[in-house]
Structures are given as C-alpha cells and as structure tokens.
Structure 1
C-alpha cells in the first residue's frame, strides 16, 4: 500500500490536466477517444449524457457527503477497498482488470481520488481521464508519456507501507 505523507498533500491541490468550469465544456473533446472518469459527479455527468466511460471510479461520495444522484449503472461493477490518502495494491490490480474489461465501474469502499495516478500508467496514449476539482470544475487529462512521467513523480512522493 502507498500512503501519501501529509507534507506532500499540497502537490495535489493543482489540477493534473486542463481545468474547465463545466462538464459540458469538455463534451466536444471526448468523442471517439477512450474515456475514464474518477469521481461520482463526473461519472454521473458522463452517464447522464449517454457517454459510457471505459472505466468509471466512484465511491458514493462527493466532498465527503453521500452522492445520491448516480443513475443506475449497467456496466460490469468491481468492488475494492482503498482507505483515504492511500493507493492500495488491490486498487491498482482492480484498475488494471477494469482497463482490460471495459466498460467497467469500480466502486471504492474508502476514497477514489488518488486512483487517477495509477490509472494514467495503465491507459494507452491519447486516452482521457476526467476528474472533478472541488468547487472549481472538471479536469481533463490526455494520457501522454509526459503525463505518465508526472504521475510517476507524484507516486514517488508516497511511502510504501
């Protein structure tokens, strides 16, 4: 299990990709590309528009409160435990399984926010990852070798327990 030390939490305040105020702003950019969502609100935003993410990662919460608006999920659902501030080996294995059996939703018991980092390492070039930036909007990441490098750097800030 990887644990994020408190002194490195500030590294995760800045968007990891391009920040857009609304989900609707990114809809024209995602057509024809592999799309993965991390977070209940962005996953709901995609599904409610008929956009089926290859992988959707949710935890049933938004900003630590229950998220009750999720439409019914008809995709294959995987379950995994991942405590807040961590990336468990089980989460990484489940993400890898999901990427090879799309479309798939991963329901996290714990917190899903940090799943963006290992997910980027598992996706092909040009895939998209979307996640919410609380009180700011939606972040769109296009997977590139440079983005993988940045994800690897951030992963190196974690401590293995």
Structure 2
C-alpha cells in the first residue's frame, strides 16, 4: 500500500512533531541508552559525530533540496527503496519495519525521506527515539510512546491510500 499526501494536508507537517533541540548534542539525554531511528542525512551524520550509531538510519543523499556532500557512511546492512516526494511507499514502510526488527540497517531512499518519520514512529517500540532535522532550527527528538503513535496514525490518516505502484519519478 502506498500513501500520497494531498497538497491541502501539507500544512499539518510544517510544525515539529515533538521537542525541538538546537543540536543532536543537546538531545543526548533523550537519546542515550535507547533504540535510535534517524531520518535524514545530516541528523545521521551528526549522530555519528556524537558517537552514536543509529539502529536504523533513513537517508536520501539530499539535504535541503541539494546533494548532501557529507552523506554518512555506515557499514550497516543497506536496504534501497523508492519513495517519491510527498509519498510513503509500501517499500519504505516495509524497510522500516524490517530495520526495527533486525537492526542495524541503513535505508537508502531513491526519492525523498522527509515523511519517513511517520512510519518510523509506528514501527518503533515504545521507548525508542526517532530523530529528524527541522531545517534551519535543529533536531526533533521523539520519544516513542502511545501518544506519539496515535499522532503518527492521525498524520497517516491525512494521506490518500493507493494500491497502484508507479515509482518512476
């Protein structure tokens, strides 16, 4: 099943989904000792610099719409998926489920990984932390619990479902 975010619902994705920290280092109290899922090239890179290897990292080689010159190199098992902008593909969702079940995993997205936070929260066990960048502001660190999962389910309900698979973009 693929999901497409209608243009009129994009406004719900502008605000941070959780607590915003100025840097990965400022979020360390939330991160340490937990399963870590990182969404984004720079967040993953900054975690590695801070000495934390994410259990699951989702990257696309792009940062702020430009090629990322500092794409993190992880020796984790790699899963490649297609995920066009404005979508969540079944491929990406399955890769996150697989990564959480058998980490460490690097999910490399051909397309865009921005919306992967939603299925990452749904796949993560309670107590895990999902991190993603908030452009020009810092990093959002979501401590996964029942409330966050309900919010992720609500956000997913804003998408249109499709059984058609056409990832030529």
TM-score by length of 2: 0.92
Q: Deviating runs (4+, > 3 A) in structure 1?
A: none
Q: Following TM superposition, by how much is the alpha carbon of 1:49 offset from its aligned partner in structure 2, in angstroms? A: 2.1
The number of equivalent residue pairs is 161
Unpaired segments of 5 or more residues in structure 1?
none
Q: Distance in 2 between matches of 1:29 and 1:158?
A: 30
Paired position in structure 1 for 2:10: 9
Q: Following TM superposition, by how much is the alpha carbon of 1:50 offset from its aligned partner in structure 2, in angstroms? A: 2.1
- Maintained 8 Å contact 2:132/2:141: yes
Paired position in structure 1 for 2:166: none
SS in 1 for 2:78: strand
Q: Distance in 1 between matches of 2:34 and 2:103?
A: 13
Paired position in structure 1 for 2:104: 103
28-37 or 54-63, which moves further after superposition? Answer: 28-37
Paired position in structure 1 for 2:131: 130
Q: Distance in 1 between matches of 2:50 and 2:90?
A: 32
1:105-124 equivalence runs, <5 A = 105-124=106-125
- Maintained 8 Å contact 1:48/1:71: no
Q: Distance in 1 between matches of 2:127 and 2:106?
A: 20
TM-score by length of 1: 0.97
1:1-161 equivalence runs, <5 A = 1-161=2-162
Q: Following TM superposition, by how much is the alpha carbon of 1:29 offset from its aligned partner in structure 2, in angstroms? A: 2.5
SS in 2 for 1:57: strand
Paired position in structure 1 for 2:167: none
Unpaired segments of 5 or more residues in structure 2?
163-169
SS in 1 for 2:51: coil
